Copies of this chain bind each other. A is one copy, B any other.
Amino acid sequence: MIKCVKCEQVDSIMKAGYVRGKQRYLCKTCNYYFTHSEKDLSLPSAVKRKRHQTTIIDIAKSLGVSNSTVSRALHGHADINPETRQAVLDKALQLDYQPNQLAYNLVKSKTNTIGMIVPEFHNPFFPNVIIGAHEVLTKAGYNLTIMQSNESYQVEISNTKAMLANRIDGLLISLTQETNNFEHLGVFEKRGIPLVLFNRVCEQINVPKVVVNDFEASFLAVEHLIMNGYERIAHLGGPLNLLVSQERLRGYRAAMEKHGKIIEDHMIIQGMLTQQKARIYGQYLLDLANRPDAIFAVNDSAAIEIMLIAKEKGISIPDELGVVGFSDNPESAYIGPGLTTIRQPTHEIGRTTADWILQLVDDEDVILPDKKILKTELIVRGSSRRCVRGNTKKVRIQ
């Protein structure tokens, strides 16, 4: 009944399994495999689970035109008959056509998406930066994909890989405290994907960076303490492999030295300040025989923890202890007494990084400054004001 497709033999045919619902045969004479499709046994289409999404081809078929015509009509390209265009547009609406961005991305090798990797989400700092960046990117028609490295170098690496695989058009990144090696960032350069660092930056890699004037801000904050009569000022700093921590420490030292204050080694503690650590370090400092009369902390959460410890110990703020933080978290304005702190222009940081990445995406040869240093503001509140009493004061830091 069945004869070989090749040698037309009939006798030497044997069955050889099924292929896609069709019987498969082998001709033993010419050793040739073939299938014979007497009837399409494929199940009714109901089985087909994957929903069909209207494509450009569906429109083309139902209109009897080519897909290129549809594509042109959809994009309002020139050289197209207005009637044809309208017909396509109508049909697209009728068929509920939704362009497939994936296919577009594949062809264009572009995703219209900017990636952002942040180390943590617990302080309001990064969410606020996100707000700023989001605003600019959305306005420019870009999407923002956010990943969180959770202060882990390994997670950061896997994040960058995922970003790479997803072919983001540009990356905004703030490094983890663990990150000392930057090969994973070099890859972006190699691939021509622009990169902007912000806040947690490093010097080892040559890309634009957006930061604040950590040195000057810290300098002024400590000088402000000194002006208020504090003498023995301690510093609760962040991990020293972060440039921000280094800069803030440098500002502290410079102010102390300028005013001839002695810096005792045990009055400087650097490290990752979880709430628990802040409490441990704070207790240590305040239990010291010759305890500091002021503490400059690298962030507000730590500063507030200090204030709470002081209250528990009955140390009065600001008379017996001055406290200054960094970042101006919302709670800092409301705690009593208000926490003197340094306000960072978070939204502006976000807007600037976004603005830069867009410029780089648009034209990879654009010349951008190495670094943008945004200005902070010293917000003077009750926690550090021994001399004058009054309302919150603001000092713009150049």
Which A residues lie at the B interface, using CB under 8 A?
A: 49-51, 53, 96, 98-103, 105-106, 109, 111, 113, 121-122, 124, 127-128, 130-131, 134, 138, 143-148, 161-162, 164-167, 187, 190-192, 304, 329-336, 364
Contacts and interface: CB of A to CB of B under 8 A. Distances in A.
B101 A167 contact: yes
B106 A103 contact: yes
A145 B96 CA distance: 24
A121 B111 contact: no
Contacts of A304: 334
Contacts of A127: 121, 124, 127
Contact of A51 (B53, B144, B192): B192
How many copies of this chain sit in the oligomeric assembly? 2
18 contacts: A50-B109, A51-B192, A53-B191, A96-B187, A96-B190, A100-B165, A101-B166, A102-B102, A102-B111, A113-B145, A121-B131, A121-B134, A127-B127, A143-B147, A143-B162, A332-B334, A334-B335, A335-B335
Contact of A334 (B98, B128, B165, B334): B334
A145 B143 contact: yes
Nearest to A365: B49
Given A103-B106, A336-B336, A143 B122 contact: no
Contacts of A191: 51, 53, 98
Contact of A167 (B96, B100, B138, B145): B100
A8 B109 CA distance: 42
B143 A166 contact: yes
Contact of A102 (B138, B166, B187): B166
Leading 8 A-B pairs by shortest Cβ distance: A334-B335, A101-B165, A331-B331, A127-B127, A336-B336, A330-B331, A331-B334, A51-B192
Contacts of A109: 50
A156 to B, nearest CB: 12
A259 B237 CA distance: 53
A167 B330 CA distance: 37
A128 B124 CA distance: 10
A165 B102 CA distance: 8
A18 to B, nearest CB: 14
A243 to B, nearest CB: 25
A133 B334 CA distance: 30
A145 B112 CA distance: 13
A34 to B, nearest CB: 18
Contacts of A161: 98
B98 A165 contact: yes
Contacts of A100: 106, 165, 167
A149 to B, nearest CB: 10
Contacts of A333: 331
B165 A99 contact: yes
Contact of A148 (B53, B134, B145, B329): B134
A336 B337 CA distance: 9
A332 B330 CA distance: 9
A336 B147 CA distance: 36
A192 B144 CA distance: 24
Q: Which of A50, A102, A147, A190 has the most CB of B within 10 A?
A: A102
B121 A167 contact: no
Nearest to A144: B146
Contact of A105 (B102, B144, B332): B102
Nearest to A132: B121
